[in-house]
């Protein structure tokens, strides 16, 4: 749990009773604010990592119960009192149900909580019992992360051990991270610090990818002290990654490595890094393959065979004719289908708590009536009958259904070289084949720095929208 703490002089927030918490919403995302009793100046602010109110309240209750586990307002708490709370914390983490959004949120909050507890153990004047509770809580958090990946064995053992331990047993204190240990920094430490600092500027979906990449790198580097790492260490990392990964995947991982290492140097954690020039070039092109024209036509033929009120029909069709990312598509609302300068478009925006991969992804994409048999009027009727969101499934289920349809209709290989994302590659290839100017193609796909959003329309936007519409008509004419 990384917190923004603004403390009045002399106030130790970790040993001060907390006033009643309250929640607020900013840019669609929910936050929890806590403050010490008796002051209006000191406070903690925690991002709850979600735009869904019900999920936010569940996460908030979980955080508050976890804080109570350490009796942070009572340094005199006995080990028996702390152990009882830790049992509740561990059992709750073991048995709680998760949806797609809460899995992402809890993974990130547990990581931040883990980092904050390690700093507290190393730097704050906690009692021996509090230190012991923090040490056990770190084990619970690590095991909870494993449980959310479907491996609950460690957490089950922790719950069993805590319940089976007799009250009053004396156990030697074992700090999870001593002050002296802070002199060395593993890649796991660096990446945790990096993600904690960037948590508010990186979208949840992107942060999930950052976290996964950093875990893969950190597993190989292990306990290597990055303050004394060598060029040979980095070359060994690259070679180890290449043992069981495609060059294109290794290239992405090493790009993430460089991002974290540059950040560490710029922020004074490292004096230098030796990660440059490592990326493989042979076979490093994207492993994602575009669909052929025959495959695209077969997919659209399947879509058109579905009922006009079936959401799958329109999700597949929009993927083909607009090249949207699957999460951009899933979040579309009724209000996002509109006319701009007489052209029907879908608007990719951040309204109502929606997220996009980058700011350049904010754009409008024209809808090409007749492309591969796309029926614009039938789609508009589907939109008219929709409540608010066009597609109501969560991210994981939405992706599974659409990619499952692709596999069934096109008999795709199991190696994931062709997925829903391949439709973007197909459209990019069609735009290139039609000799569409690069800038216009990038505006359609959301790569250009000059992409259009509903909030950023300028004097030339009408011309640009019509230019994109004409480009898509030309590119999709074969269909």
Element (H, E) at 364: strand 363-366
pLDDT(70) > 80: no
Provide the phi-psi class of 37: left if phi over 0, else alpha when psi is between -120 and 50, else beta. beta
Q: Which of 124, 312, 260 is nearest to 304 (CA)?
A: 312
Q: Counting beta carbons within 10 angstroms of the beta carbon of residue 338, is it exposed (0 to 12), middle (13 to 18) or buried (19 or more)?
A: middle
pLDDT at 131 over 70: yes
Q: What percent of the chain has pLDDT over 70?
A: 73
- Residue 40's contacts (CB-CB under 8 Å, 6 or more residues apart) are none
Measured distance CA(44)–CA(331) in Å, rounded: 31
Compute the average pLDDT of residues 165-193. Answer: 54
User: Which of 165, 176, 96, 100 minimizes the C-alpha distance to 134?
Assistant: 176
How many C-alpha atoms does 156 have within 13 Å on its Cβ side? 5
**Calpha distance 445→426 (Å, rounded):** 11
pLDDT at 371: 93
Give 23-57 pLDDT, tens digit per residue. Answer: 778 777 777 776 555 554 445 566 666 777 776 77
Domains parsed from the chain with CATH numbers: 4-174 (no CATH), 187-266 (1.10.150.130), 293-475 (1.10.443)
Cα dihedral 57, 58, 59, 65 in deg (nearest 10): 100
206-237 pLDDT per residue, tens: 777 888 889 999 999 988 999 899 999 999 99
Q: In which band, very low, low, confident or very high, does the pLDDT at 452 lie, cut at 50, 70 and 90?
A: very low
Span 170-185, average pLDDT: 40
Angle subtended at Cα 400 by Cα 366 and Cα 448, rounded to the nearest 5 degrees: 35
Find out whether 345 and 366 touch, Cβ atoms under 8 Å. Answer: yes
Paired residues of 24 in beta bridges: 31
Q: Would the pLDDT of 366 be above 80?
A: yes
Overall average pLDDT of the 279-300 stretch: 76
| SS3 state of residue 465 | helix
Q: Are strands 29-34 and 4-6 parallel, antiparallel or unpaired?
A: unpaired
Note the pLDDT of residue 198.
80
**Which strand ranges, in their side-by-side order, compose the sheet holding 4-6?**
4-6, 43-47, 29-34, 22-26
pLDDT tops 80 at residue 319:
yes
Instruction: Answer yes or no: are the C-beta atoms of 253 and 217 closer than 8 Å.
Output: yes
How confident is the model over 430-447, as pLDDT tens digits?
A: 998 999 888 888 889 887
Does residue 377 carry a pLDDT above 60?
A: yes
């Amino acid at each position: 749990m990384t917190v923004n703490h603004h403390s009045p002089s002399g106030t130790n927030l970790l040993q001060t009773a907390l006033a009643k918490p309250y929640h607020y919403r900013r840019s669609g995302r929910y936050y929890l604010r806590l403050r010490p009793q008796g002051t209006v100046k000191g406070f903690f602010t925690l991002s709850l990592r979600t735009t869904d109110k019900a999920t936010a309240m569940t996460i908030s209750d979980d955080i508050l119960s976890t804080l109570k586990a350490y009796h942070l307002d009572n340094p005199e708490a006995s080990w028996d009192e702390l152990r009882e709370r830790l049992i509740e914390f561990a059992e709750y983490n073991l048995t709680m149900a998760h949806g797609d959004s809460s899995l992402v949120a809890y993974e990130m909050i547990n990581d931040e909580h883990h980092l904050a507890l390690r700093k507290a153990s190393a730097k704050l004047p906690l009692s021996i019992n509090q230190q012991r509770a923090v040490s056990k809580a770190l084990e619970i958090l690590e095991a909870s992360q494993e449980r959310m990946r479907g491996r609950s064995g460690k957490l089950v053992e922790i719950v069993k051990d805590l319940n089976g331990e007799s009250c009053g047993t004396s156990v030697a204190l074992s700090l999870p991270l001593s002050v002296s240990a802070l002199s060395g920094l593993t890649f796991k430490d660096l990446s945790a610090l990096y993600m904690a600092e960037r948590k508010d500027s990186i979208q949840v979906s992107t942060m999930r990818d950052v976290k996964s990449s950093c875990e893969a790198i950190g597993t190989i580097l292990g306990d290597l002290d990055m303050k004394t790492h060598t060029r040979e260490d980095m070359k060994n990392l690259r070679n180890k990654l290449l043992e069981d990964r495609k060059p294109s995947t290794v290239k992405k991982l090493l790009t993430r490595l460089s991002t974290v290492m540059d950040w560490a140097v710029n922020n004074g954690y490292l004096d230098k890094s030796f990660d440059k020039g490592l990326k493989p070039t042979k076979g490093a092109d994207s492993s994602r393959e575009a669909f052929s024209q025959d495959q695209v036509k077969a997919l659209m033929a399947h879509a058109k065979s579905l009922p006009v009120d079936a959401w799958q029909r329109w999700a597949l069709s929009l993927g083909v004719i607009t090249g949207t990312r699957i999460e951009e598509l899933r979040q579309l609302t009724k209000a996002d289908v509109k006319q701009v300068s007489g052209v029907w478009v879908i608007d990719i925006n951040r309204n109502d708590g929606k997220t996009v991969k980058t700011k350049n992804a904010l754009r409008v994409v024209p809808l090409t009536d007749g492309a591969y048999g796309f029926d614009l009027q039938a789609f508009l009727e589907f939109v008219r009958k929709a409540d608010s969101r066009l597609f109501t499934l969560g991210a994981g289920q939405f992706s599974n259904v659409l990619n499952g349809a692709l596999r069934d209709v096109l008999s795709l290989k199991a190696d994931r070289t062709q997925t829903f994302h391949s439709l973007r590659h197909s459209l990019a290839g069609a735009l290139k084949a039609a000799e569409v100017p690069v800038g216009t193609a990038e505006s359609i796909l959301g790569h250009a720095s000059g992409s259009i959003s509903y909030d950023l329309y300028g004097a030339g936007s009408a011309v640009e929208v019509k230019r994109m519409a004409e480009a898509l008509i030309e590119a999709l004419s074969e269909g």
